[in-house]
Structure 1
Protein backbone atom coordinates (compact mmCIF):
# COMPACT_ATOMS: atom_id res chain seq x y z
CA UNK A 1 0.00 0.00 0.00
CA UNK A 2 1.25 3.49 -0.81
CA UNK A 3 1.88 5.79 2.13
CA UNK A 4 1.26 9.51 1.57
CA UNK A 5 2.27 12.20 4.04
CA UNK A 6 -0.35 15.00 4.13
CA UNK A 7 0.73 18.30 2.55
CA UNK A 8 2.27 20.76 4.99
CA UNK A 9 -0.60 22.69 6.57
CA UNK A 10 1.00 26.03 5.67
CA UNK A 11 3.47 27.18 3.02
CA UNK A 12 6.77 26.97 4.89
CA UNK A 13 8.83 28.83 2.33
CA UNK A 14 6.28 31.61 2.00
CA UNK A 15 6.23 32.18 5.74
CA UNK A 16 9.93 31.61 6.32
CA UNK A 17 11.78 32.26 3.04
CA UNK A 18 15.06 32.15 4.96
CA UNK A 19 14.83 28.33 5.19
CA UNK A 20 14.12 27.81 1.48
CA UNK A 21 17.80 27.45 0.54
CA UNK A 22 18.14 24.84 3.29
CA UNK A 23 15.41 22.50 2.04
CA UNK A 24 16.39 18.87 1.58
CA UNK A 25 14.69 15.84 0.12
CA UNK A 26 14.36 12.76 2.31
CA UNK A 27 12.66 9.40 1.86
CA UNK A 28 10.36 8.29 4.63
CA UNK A 29 10.51 4.49 4.60
CA UNK A 30 7.25 3.86 6.49
CA UNK A 31 8.19 0.34 7.69
CA UNK A 32 5.19 -1.90 8.38
CA UNK A 33 5.24 -5.44 9.73
CA UNK A 34 5.23 -7.95 6.88
CA UNK A 35 7.14 -10.78 5.28
CA UNK A 36 9.85 -9.23 3.07
CA UNK A 37 12.28 -11.45 1.17
CA UNK A 38 15.98 -10.84 0.60
CA UNK A 39 15.07 -9.58 -2.89
CA UNK A 40 13.17 -6.61 -1.41
CA UNK A 41 13.98 -3.44 0.45
CA UNK A 42 13.05 -3.87 4.09
CA UNK A 43 13.55 -2.94 7.70
CA UNK A 44 14.53 -5.94 9.81
CA UNK A 45 14.08 -8.33 6.89
CA UNK A 46 16.46 -10.96 5.48
CA UNK A 47 19.49 -9.67 3.60
CA UNK A 48 20.87 -10.58 0.20
CA UNK A 49 24.13 -11.75 1.78
CA UNK A 50 26.61 -13.86 -0.18
CA UNK A 51 27.04 -17.39 1.13
CA UNK A 52 30.82 -17.11 0.70
CA UNK A 53 31.11 -13.89 2.75
CA UNK A 54 31.37 -13.92 6.53
CA UNK A 55 28.42 -12.47 8.39
CA UNK A 56 29.37 -9.43 10.51
CA UNK A 57 29.87 -10.17 14.19
CA UNK A 58 30.37 -7.96 17.23
CA UNK A 59 33.92 -7.85 18.55
CA UNK A 60 32.72 -6.73 21.99
CA UNK A 61 30.33 -9.63 22.58
CA UNK A 62 32.15 -12.89 21.80
CA UNK A 63 31.57 -12.63 18.08
CA UNK A 64 27.80 -12.67 18.22
CA UNK A 65 26.16 -12.05 14.82
CA UNK A 66 24.73 -8.64 14.03
CA UNK A 67 21.07 -8.37 13.08
CA UNK A 68 19.61 -6.89 9.87
CA UNK A 69 18.28 -3.37 10.29
CA UNK A 70 17.78 -1.84 6.82
CA UNK A 71 18.17 -3.10 3.27
CA UNK A 72 17.58 -0.74 0.35
CA UNK A 73 17.71 -1.55 -3.35
CA UNK A 74 18.55 1.39 -5.60
CA UNK A 75 15.59 0.69 -7.89
CA UNK A 76 13.24 0.66 -4.90
CA UNK A 77 13.93 4.07 -3.36
CA UNK A 78 14.02 7.62 -4.75
CA UNK A 79 17.55 8.81 -5.50
CA UNK A 80 18.03 11.36 -2.72
CA UNK A 81 21.36 9.70 -1.80
CA UNK A 82 23.83 8.66 -4.52
CA UNK A 83 24.86 5.01 -4.49
CA UNK A 84 28.58 4.33 -4.94
CA UNK A 85 29.60 3.60 -8.53
CA UNK A 86 28.65 0.07 -9.49
CA UNK A 87 26.56 -0.57 -6.36
CA UNK A 88 22.81 -0.95 -6.19
CA UNK A 89 22.23 -2.28 -2.69
CA UNK A 90 22.70 -0.81 0.80
CA UNK A 91 22.68 -3.02 3.88
CA UNK A 92 22.84 -1.83 7.48
CA UNK A 93 23.18 -4.18 10.44
CA UNK A 94 23.94 -3.68 14.11
CA UNK A 95 24.76 -5.50 17.29
CA UNK A 96 21.65 -5.20 19.45
CA UNK A 97 23.51 -4.82 22.74
CA UNK A 98 24.91 -1.92 24.71
CA UNK A 99 28.45 -0.86 23.85
CA UNK A 100 31.19 1.11 25.52
CA UNK A 101 29.17 1.72 28.66
CA UNK A 102 26.18 3.09 26.71
CA UNK A 103 22.91 1.40 25.84
CA UNK A 104 23.14 1.89 22.10
CA UNK A 105 23.42 -0.40 19.10
CA UNK A 106 26.63 -0.50 17.04
CA UNK A 107 25.90 -0.28 13.26
CA UNK A 108 27.73 -1.79 10.28
CA UNK A 109 27.24 -0.52 6.70
CA UNK A 110 27.76 -2.52 3.49
CA UNK A 111 27.31 -1.49 -0.13
CA UNK A 112 27.22 -4.18 -2.82
CA UNK A 113 26.20 -5.20 -6.34
CA UNK A 114 23.11 -7.36 -6.02
CA UNK A 115 23.74 -9.11 -9.34
CA UNK A 116 27.03 -10.51 -8.08
CA UNK A 117 25.36 -12.45 -5.28
CA UNK A 118 24.68 -16.02 -6.36
CA UNK A 119 24.16 -18.30 -3.37
CA UNK A 120 22.60 -16.45 -0.41
CA UNK A 121 23.59 -16.96 3.21
CA UNK A 122 20.76 -17.62 5.63
CA UNK A 123 20.32 -14.88 8.21
CA UNK A 124 21.73 -16.05 11.57
CA UNK A 125 19.38 -16.01 14.55
CA UNK A 126 19.46 -12.94 16.76
CA UNK A 127 21.36 -13.16 20.06
CA UNK A 128 19.44 -14.95 22.79
CA UNK A 129 19.26 -11.91 25.08
CA UNK A 130 19.49 -8.69 23.05
CA UNK A 131 18.95 -5.30 24.61
CA UNK A 132 15.21 -4.75 24.90
CA UNK A 133 13.57 -3.91 21.56
CA UNK A 134 16.81 -3.48 19.58
CA UNK A 135 15.97 -6.24 17.09
CA UNK A 136 13.53 -4.86 14.51
CA UNK A 137 10.59 -6.99 13.45
CA UNK A 138 10.63 -7.81 9.72
CA UNK A 139 8.91 -4.98 7.87
CA UNK A 140 8.14 -4.13 4.29
CA UNK A 141 8.78 -0.50 3.39
CA UNK A 142 6.73 2.10 1.55
CA UNK A 143 9.29 4.72 0.42
CA UNK A 144 7.94 8.24 0.05
CA UNK A 145 9.94 11.28 -1.01
CA UNK A 146 9.17 14.41 1.00
CA UNK A 147 10.67 17.86 1.46
CA UNK A 148 11.96 18.89 4.85
CA UNK A 149 13.65 21.85 6.51
CA UNK A 150 16.13 22.06 9.40
CA UNK A 151 15.20 22.67 12.99
CA UNK A 152 18.03 21.53 15.26
CA UNK A 153 20.40 22.21 12.37
CA UNK A 154 19.49 25.88 12.07
CA UNK A 155 22.52 28.00 12.89
CA UNK A 156 22.29 30.35 15.87
CA UNK A 157 22.00 33.52 13.80
CA UNK A 158 19.10 32.22 11.75
CA UNK A 159 17.42 30.77 14.82
CA UNK A 160 17.55 34.16 16.54
CA UNK A 161 16.00 35.74 13.46
CA UNK A 162 13.15 33.22 13.20
CA UNK A 163 12.37 32.17 16.76
CA UNK A 164 9.63 34.68 17.50
CA UNK A 165 8.04 34.21 14.08
CA UNK A 166 7.86 30.48 14.81
CA UNK A 167 6.15 31.25 18.09
CA UNK A 168 3.71 33.67 16.46
CA UNK A 169 2.69 31.02 13.92
CA UNK A 170 2.10 28.48 16.67
CA UNK A 171 -0.03 30.90 18.67
CA UNK A 172 -2.05 31.99 15.63
CA UNK A 173 -2.60 28.61 13.94
CA UNK A 174 -1.56 25.81 16.32
CA UNK A 175 1.12 24.63 13.89
CA UNK A 176 4.53 24.26 15.45
CA UNK A 177 7.55 24.66 13.19
CA UNK A 178 9.61 21.99 14.94
CA UNK A 179 6.97 19.29 15.24
CA UNK A 180 4.81 19.94 12.19
CA UNK A 181 6.78 21.77 9.51
CA UNK A 182 10.51 21.11 9.66
CA UNK A 183 12.30 17.75 9.75
CA UNK A 184 10.40 14.58 8.88
CA UNK A 185 10.20 12.10 11.76
CA UNK A 186 10.65 8.34 11.62
CA UNK A 187 13.05 6.00 9.84
CA UNK A 188 14.27 7.71 6.69
CA UNK A 189 16.91 7.78 3.97
CA UNK A 190 18.87 10.99 3.34
CA UNK A 191 17.74 14.46 4.26
CA UNK A 192 18.38 15.81 7.76
CA UNK A 193 19.03 13.58 10.76
CA UNK A 194 15.98 13.20 12.97
CA UNK A 195 17.74 14.69 16.00
CA UNK A 196 15.98 14.69 19.34
CA UNK A 197 18.71 16.88 20.85
CA UNK A 198 21.54 19.18 19.77
CA UNK A 199 23.19 18.01 16.52
CA UNK A 200 26.43 16.03 16.71
CA UNK A 201 27.58 15.69 13.10
CA UNK A 202 30.72 13.53 12.81
CA UNK A 203 33.80 14.53 10.84
CA UNK A 204 35.57 12.04 8.61
CA UNK A 205 38.81 10.77 10.18
CA UNK A 206 40.31 10.53 6.69
CA UNK A 207 39.73 13.95 5.16
CA UNK A 208 38.42 15.94 8.13
CA UNK A 209 35.26 17.01 6.30
CA UNK A 210 31.82 16.83 7.83
CA UNK A 211 30.06 13.60 6.95
CA UNK A 212 26.72 13.41 5.16
CA UNK A 213 23.58 11.97 6.70
CA UNK A 214 22.79 8.58 5.20
CA UNK A 215 20.05 7.08 7.36
CA UNK A 216 17.96 7.69 10.46
CA UNK A 217 16.61 4.63 12.26
CA UNK A 218 13.94 5.84 14.68
CA UNK A 219 11.99 4.23 17.47
CA UNK A 220 8.65 5.45 16.13
CA UNK A 221 7.07 6.74 12.94
CA UNK A 222 6.21 9.98 14.76
CA UNK A 223 6.00 11.10 18.37
CA UNK A 224 2.89 12.41 20.09
CA UNK A 225 3.51 15.98 18.94
CA UNK A 226 4.49 15.34 15.32
CA UNK A 227 1.89 12.63 14.66
CA UNK A 228 -0.81 15.19 13.92
CA UNK A 229 1.01 16.49 10.82
CA UNK A 230 3.14 13.56 9.67
CA UNK A 231 0.88 10.49 9.96
CA UNK A 232 0.25 9.12 6.45
CA UNK A 233 -3.25 9.55 5.08
CA UNK A 234 -3.68 5.78 4.84
CA UNK A 235 -2.96 5.32 8.56
CA UNK A 236 -5.28 7.95 10.01
CA UNK A 237 -7.90 5.40 11.05
CA UNK A 238 -5.54 2.68 12.28
CA UNK A 239 -2.41 2.14 14.36
CA UNK A 240 -0.04 0.34 11.99
CA UNK A 241 2.56 -2.06 13.33
CA UNK A 242 6.15 -1.05 12.75
CA UNK A 243 9.49 -2.62 13.63
CA UNK A 244 8.86 -2.31 17.36
CA UNK A 245 12.14 -0.57 18.17
CA UNK A 246 12.75 1.23 21.45
CA UNK A 247 16.12 2.96 21.11
CA UNK A 248 17.12 4.56 24.36
CA UNK A 249 14.13 6.57 25.52
CA UNK A 250 12.35 6.40 22.13
CA UNK A 251 15.28 8.02 20.36
CA UNK A 252 17.13 7.30 17.15
CA UNK A 253 20.37 6.07 15.60
CA UNK A 254 21.86 8.20 12.82
CA UNK A 255 24.27 6.80 10.23
CA UNK A 256 26.63 9.13 8.37
CA UNK A 257 29.13 8.64 5.56
CA UNK A 258 31.94 10.47 3.77
CA UNK A 259 31.25 10.59 0.04
CA UNK A 260 34.70 11.93 -0.74
CA UNK A 261 37.01 9.29 0.72
CA UNK A 262 37.42 5.87 -0.94
CA UNK A 263 35.17 3.17 0.48
CA UNK A 264 32.59 5.65 1.81
CA UNK A 265 33.71 5.45 5.49
CA UNK A 266 30.80 5.70 7.91
CA UNK A 267 30.10 6.77 11.47
CA UNK A 268 27.04 6.92 13.68
CA UNK A 269 25.50 9.01 16.41
CA UNK A 270 22.49 8.52 18.67
CA UNK A 271 20.27 10.50 20.97
CA UNK A 272 16.91 10.41 22.73
CA UNK A 273 14.38 12.91 24.07
Structure 2
Protein backbone atom coordinates (compact mmCIF):
# COMPACT_ATOMS: atom_id res chain seq x y z
CA UNK A 1 0.00 0.00 0.00
CA UNK A 2 1.15 3.51 -0.62
CA UNK A 3 1.31 6.46 1.72
CA UNK A 4 -1.22 9.14 0.79
CA UNK A 5 0.67 11.80 -1.14
CA UNK A 6 -1.98 14.47 -0.71
CA UNK A 7 -5.48 15.68 -1.46
CA UNK A 8 -6.44 18.36 -3.97
CA UNK A 9 -5.70 21.71 -2.35
CA UNK A 10 -9.36 22.72 -1.84
CA UNK A 11 -10.60 19.36 -0.58
CA UNK A 12 -11.31 18.21 2.97
CA UNK A 13 -10.61 14.66 4.10
CA UNK A 14 -13.36 12.43 2.59
CA UNK A 15 -16.20 11.40 4.90
CA UNK A 16 -18.97 8.85 4.56
CA UNK A 17 -22.15 10.92 4.05
CA UNK A 18 -24.39 8.69 6.20
CA UNK A 19 -22.35 8.58 9.41
CA UNK A 20 -19.93 11.47 8.76
CA UNK A 21 -17.10 9.15 9.74
CA UNK A 22 -13.77 9.98 8.06
CA UNK A 23 -13.06 7.32 5.48
CA UNK A 24 -10.10 5.06 6.06
CA UNK A 25 -7.31 5.44 3.51
CA UNK A 26 -6.72 2.02 1.91
CA UNK A 27 -4.68 2.38 -1.23
CA UNK A 28 -2.95 4.75 -3.61
CA UNK A 29 -1.36 3.86 -6.94
CA UNK A 30 0.53 6.18 -9.22
CA UNK A 31 -0.67 5.00 -12.62
CA UNK A 32 2.18 6.86 -14.28
CA UNK A 33 4.82 4.67 -12.64
CA UNK A 34 3.40 1.16 -13.06
CA UNK A 35 5.59 -1.63 -14.49
CA UNK A 36 6.50 -1.32 -18.16
CA UNK A 37 4.13 -4.14 -19.16
CA UNK A 38 1.20 -2.05 -17.87
CA UNK A 39 2.44 1.38 -18.98
CA UNK A 40 -0.56 3.54 -19.98
CA UNK A 41 -2.87 0.52 -19.60
CA UNK A 42 -4.99 2.20 -16.92
CA UNK A 43 -4.47 5.82 -17.97
CA UNK A 44 -2.64 8.42 -15.93
CA UNK A 45 -3.02 10.02 -12.52
CA UNK A 46 -3.31 8.78 -8.95
CA UNK A 47 -5.76 5.99 -8.17
CA UNK A 48 -7.05 6.38 -4.61
CA UNK A 49 -9.26 4.18 -2.45
CA UNK A 50 -10.98 5.30 0.78
CA UNK A 51 -13.36 3.06 2.74
CA UNK A 52 -15.73 3.42 5.70
CA UNK A 53 -14.66 1.19 8.60
CA UNK A 54 -17.22 2.46 11.13
CA UNK A 55 -18.14 -0.67 13.12
CA UNK A 56 -20.42 1.06 15.63
CA UNK A 57 -23.19 1.99 13.16
CA UNK A 58 -22.96 -1.13 10.97
CA UNK A 59 -22.66 0.99 7.86
CA UNK A 60 -21.43 -2.04 5.93
CA UNK A 61 -24.73 -3.89 6.41
CA UNK A 62 -27.11 -0.94 6.16
CA UNK A 63 -25.63 0.56 3.02
CA UNK A 64 -24.42 -2.51 1.09
CA UNK A 65 -20.71 -1.79 1.14
CA UNK A 66 -20.02 -4.79 -1.10
CA UNK A 67 -21.75 -3.20 -4.11
CA UNK A 68 -19.45 -1.70 -6.79
CA UNK A 69 -20.93 1.81 -6.74
CA UNK A 70 -21.84 2.09 -3.05
CA UNK A 71 -21.00 5.46 -1.50
CA UNK A 72 -19.56 3.71 1.56
CA UNK A 73 -16.26 3.79 -0.30
CA UNK A 74 -14.57 6.34 -2.53
CA UNK A 75 -12.64 5.08 -5.54
CA UNK A 76 -11.28 7.68 -7.92
CA UNK A 77 -8.44 8.82 -10.16
CA UNK A 78 -7.11 12.28 -9.44
CA UNK A 79 -4.56 14.19 -11.44
CA UNK A 80 -1.42 15.41 -9.60
CA UNK A 81 -1.41 19.11 -8.87
CA UNK A 82 1.53 21.43 -8.49
CA UNK A 83 -0.09 22.61 -5.25
CA UNK A 84 -1.42 19.97 -2.88
CA UNK A 85 -2.51 20.08 0.73
CA UNK A 86 -0.21 18.84 3.46
CA UNK A 87 -2.37 15.91 4.48
CA UNK A 88 -2.79 14.96 8.12
CA UNK A 89 -4.78 12.02 9.32
CA UNK A 90 -8.19 12.94 10.78
CA UNK A 91 -8.23 13.46 14.53
CA UNK A 92 -9.46 10.54 16.64
CA UNK A 93 -9.15 8.25 13.64
CA UNK A 94 -7.22 5.00 13.99
CA UNK A 95 -5.36 4.62 10.73
CA UNK A 96 -3.57 1.70 9.16
CA UNK A 97 0.23 1.84 9.43
CA UNK A 98 1.54 3.19 6.11
CA UNK A 99 3.19 0.74 3.74
CA UNK A 100 5.04 1.49 0.55
CA UNK A 101 5.18 -0.61 -2.61
CA UNK A 102 8.87 -0.80 -3.37
CA UNK A 103 8.85 -3.31 -6.23
CA UNK A 104 6.61 -5.50 -8.39
CA UNK A 105 7.00 -9.22 -8.99
CA UNK A 106 5.68 -10.52 -12.30
CA UNK A 107 3.81 -13.82 -11.98
CA UNK A 108 1.74 -15.96 -14.33
CA UNK A 109 -1.96 -15.87 -13.59
CA UNK A 110 -4.89 -17.82 -15.05
CA UNK A 111 -8.68 -17.51 -14.81
CA UNK A 112 -10.82 -19.95 -12.89
CA UNK A 113 -12.80 -22.67 -14.65
CA UNK A 114 -15.96 -20.60 -15.10
CA UNK A 115 -14.20 -17.57 -16.53
CA UNK A 116 -12.07 -19.70 -18.85
CA UNK A 117 -15.27 -21.28 -20.15
CA UNK A 118 -16.55 -17.82 -21.14
CA UNK A 119 -13.67 -17.69 -23.61
CA UNK A 120 -14.51 -21.12 -24.95
CA UNK A 121 -11.66 -22.81 -23.08
CA UNK A 122 -12.40 -26.08 -21.35
CA UNK A 123 -9.84 -26.92 -18.72
CA UNK A 124 -9.02 -30.56 -18.19
CA UNK A 125 -8.79 -31.20 -14.45
CA UNK A 126 -5.75 -33.42 -14.66
CA UNK A 127 -3.91 -31.22 -17.16
CA UNK A 128 -4.72 -28.08 -15.19
CA UNK A 129 -3.33 -29.55 -11.97
CA UNK A 130 -0.23 -31.06 -13.60
CA UNK A 131 0.78 -27.86 -15.37
CA UNK A 132 -0.44 -25.05 -13.15
CA UNK A 133 -1.00 -26.12 -9.57
CA UNK A 134 1.55 -26.91 -6.92
CA UNK A 135 1.35 -27.00 -3.15
CA UNK A 136 2.55 -23.40 -3.10
CA UNK A 137 0.18 -21.79 -5.58
CA UNK A 138 -3.25 -21.87 -7.16
CA UNK A 139 -5.07 -19.82 -9.76
CA UNK A 140 -6.30 -17.20 -9.93
CA UNK A 141 -3.71 -15.85 -7.51
CA UNK A 142 -5.13 -14.79 -4.14
CA UNK A 143 -3.96 -11.81 -2.10
CA UNK A 144 -3.27 -8.23 -3.12
CA UNK A 145 -2.18 -7.95 -6.73
CA UNK A 146 -2.02 -5.60 -9.68
CA UNK A 147 -3.96 -6.68 -12.79
CA UNK A 148 -4.25 -10.39 -13.61
CA UNK A 149 -7.43 -12.42 -13.14
CA UNK A 150 -9.81 -11.75 -10.23
CA UNK A 151 -10.02 -14.35 -7.49
CA UNK A 152 -13.78 -14.85 -7.38
CA UNK A 153 -15.15 -16.26 -4.13
CA UNK A 154 -18.62 -16.65 -5.61
CA UNK A 155 -19.55 -16.19 -9.28
CA UNK A 156 -18.04 -13.87 -11.87
CA UNK A 157 -19.15 -10.38 -10.86
CA UNK A 158 -17.50 -7.72 -13.00
CA UNK A 159 -19.48 -4.46 -12.83
CA UNK A 160 -20.50 -2.66 -16.01
CA UNK A 161 -19.40 0.86 -16.89
CA UNK A 162 -22.18 3.35 -16.03
CA UNK A 163 -21.40 5.27 -19.24
CA UNK A 164 -21.09 2.65 -21.97
CA UNK A 165 -22.37 -0.47 -20.21
CA UNK A 166 -19.30 -2.55 -21.06
CA UNK A 167 -17.75 -4.96 -18.57
CA UNK A 168 -15.03 -3.34 -16.46
CA UNK A 169 -11.65 -5.03 -15.99
CA UNK A 170 -9.46 -5.65 -12.95
CA UNK A 171 -6.95 -3.00 -11.91
CA UNK A 172 -6.08 -4.08 -8.38
CA UNK A 173 -7.21 -6.88 -6.08
CA UNK A 174 -7.52 -6.02 -2.37
CA UNK A 175 -7.77 -9.16 -0.27
CA UNK A 176 -8.72 -9.55 3.40
CA UNK A 177 -5.88 -9.38 5.92
CA UNK A 178 -3.09 -9.27 3.36
CA UNK A 179 -1.29 -5.93 3.38
CA UNK A 180 -4.14 -4.28 5.29
CA UNK A 181 -5.41 -5.53 8.65
CA UNK A 182 -9.02 -5.49 7.51
CA UNK A 183 -11.51 -8.20 6.58
CA UNK A 184 -14.28 -7.80 4.01
CA UNK A 185 -17.21 -9.71 5.50
CA UNK A 186 -16.23 -13.32 6.14
CA UNK A 187 -12.73 -13.45 4.61
CA UNK A 188 -13.90 -11.67 1.47
CA UNK A 189 -11.87 -10.49 -1.50
CA UNK A 190 -12.31 -7.10 -3.19
CA UNK A 191 -11.56 -5.80 -6.66
CA UNK A 192 -10.91 -2.33 -8.05
CA UNK A 193 -12.13 -2.31 -11.64
CA UNK A 194 -12.03 0.21 -14.47
CA UNK A 195 -13.74 0.77 -17.82
CA UNK A 196 -11.27 0.24 -20.63
CA UNK A 197 -12.82 3.06 -22.67
CA UNK A 198 -13.76 5.52 -19.91
CA UNK A 199 -10.77 5.30 -17.63
CA UNK A 200 -12.13 7.78 -15.12
CA UNK A 201 -14.86 5.23 -14.33
CA UNK A 202 -13.54 3.05 -11.50
CA UNK A 203 -15.37 0.89 -8.98
CA UNK A 204 -14.75 -1.35 -5.97
CA UNK A 205 -16.73 -4.41 -4.92
CA UNK A 206 -16.13 -7.47 -2.76
CA UNK A 207 -17.69 -10.84 -2.07
CA UNK A 208 -17.25 -13.40 0.69
CA UNK A 209 -18.36 -16.92 1.52
* Distance of 1:100 and 1:111 partners within structure 2: 27
Structure 1 match to 2:82: 116
Q: Return 184-193 or 93-102, whichever deviates more.
A: 93-102
- Report whether the alignment pairs 1:272 with 2:208: yes
Structure 2 match to 1:7: none
Identify if the C-alpha distance between structure 1 residues 77 and 174 changes in structure 2 by more than 3 Å, giving closer, same or farther.
Answer: closer
Where structure 1 has 5 or more consecutive residues not aligned to the other structure, the ranges are 1-30, 32-41, 129-134, 222-241
- Report whether the alignment pairs 1:204 with 2:196: no
* Distance of 1:125 and 1:153 partners within structure 2: 44
Higher Rg of the two aligned structures? 1
Q: 1:88: how far off?
A: 3.2
2:11 to 53, 56, 59: 53
* Distance of 1:119 and 1:198 partners within structure 2: 41
Structure 1 match to 2:117: 155
Q: 1:202: how far off?
A: 1.0
Counterparts in 2 of 1:1-273, with a 5 A limit? 42=2, 45-61=3-19, 63-74=20-31, 76-79=33-36, 80=38, 82-84=41-43, 87-97=44-54, 98-100=60-62, 102=64, 104=66, 106-125=72-91, 136-142=96-102, 143-151=104-112, 153-155=115-117, 158-159=121-122, 161-166=123-128, 169=130, 175=134, 180-221=137-178, 242-261=179-198, 264-273=200-209
Normalising by structure 1, report the TM-score. 0.60
Cα RMSD of the aligned pairs, angstroms, is 3.1
- Larger helix fraction of residues: 1
Identify if the C-alpha distance between structure 1 residues 107 and 193 changes in structure 2 by more than 3 Å, giving closer, same or farther.
Answer: farther
**Cα offsets for 1:33-87 (capped at 9, x unmatched):** xxxxxxxxx1xx33421342133221222x2221111111245431526343xx4
* Distance of 1:121 and 1:174 partners within structure 2: 44
* Distance of 1:174 and 1:146 partners within structure 2: 13
- The 8 Å contact of residues 76 and 202 in structure 2, kept in 1 or not, is answered as no
Identify if the C-alpha distance between structure 1 residues 117 and 95 changes in structure 2 by more than 3 Å, giving closer, same or farther.
Answer: farther
Identify if the C-alpha distance between structure 1 residues 268 and 123 changes in structure 2 by more than 3 Å, giving closer, same or farther.
Answer: same
Normalising by structure 2, report the TM-score. 0.75
Higher-RCO chain (CA-CA 8 Å, sequence separation at least 6) = 1
**Cα offsets for 1:189-243 (capped at 9, x unmatched):** 222222222211111122111111122111144xxxxxxxxxxxxxxxxxxxx42
* Count of matched residue positions in the alignment of Structure 1 and Structure 2: 195
**Cα offsets for 1:99-118 (capped at 9, x unmatched):** 44556593312222324333
SS at match of 1:71: strand
- The 8 Å contact of residues 25 and 49 in structure 2, kept in 1 or not, is answered as yes
